[in-house]
Amino acid sequence: MQSAVKKFGNIDLVVSWIHSSAPLAPNTIADKLSSYDHSFRFFDIPGSAYADPSKDNSERKSKLIENKNLQYRKIILGFKIEDNISRWLTNYEISSGVIDAIREDIKETVIGTVSPWEMRP
């Protein structure tokens, strides 16, 4: 990130789709970019497990929004239900949904659905 900022200038937009195997990565990215004292939009993209009604995921957002220059946005990846059968989102559905959320600067959205939770593939 340091070399990218040095070569191209400040980063205005981050799309962070990082799997749960690296839970500290979004915070590390946000912290590093916040040190440049330049405002940026941070689109955090958790998977459908983020919407699990039995879990409290508020800590993920609270740590990210503590960064002074970060404008937090969240895009939750859900699933689709067609003919009473659920399936994961396609790459096209994910990318289209993310691009729409960025263009419209949506603060929080779900691509697909996350309910009923019991239908999650």
Q: What is the pLDDT of residue 37?
A: 79
pTM: 0.85
Cα diameter, the chain: 51
- At 4 the pLDDT is 87
pLDDT digits (tens, 9 = 90+) for 33-90: 887 878 899 999 988 888 888 887 666 666 666 677 889 999 999 999 999 999 999 9
Q: What's the pLDDT score for residue 62?
A: 61
Q: Which amino acid is at 106?
A: I
* Residue keyed to tokens 């990210």: 64
Higher pLDDT, 107 or 24: 107
Q: Tokens for 1, please give them.
A: 């990130």
pLDDT value, residue 24: 82
pLDDT for the residue numbered 2: 84
CA-based nearest residue to 26, from 82, 77, 78, 65: 65
Q: Which residues share a beta bridge with 79?
A: 88, 113
- Rounded to whole angstroms, the Cα distance separating 63 from 25 reads 12
DSSP notation for 47-87: -GGGG-TTS--HHHHHHHHTSTTEEEEEEEE-EEEETTEEE
Each residue's pLDDT tens digit, 86-104: 999 999 999 999 999 999 9
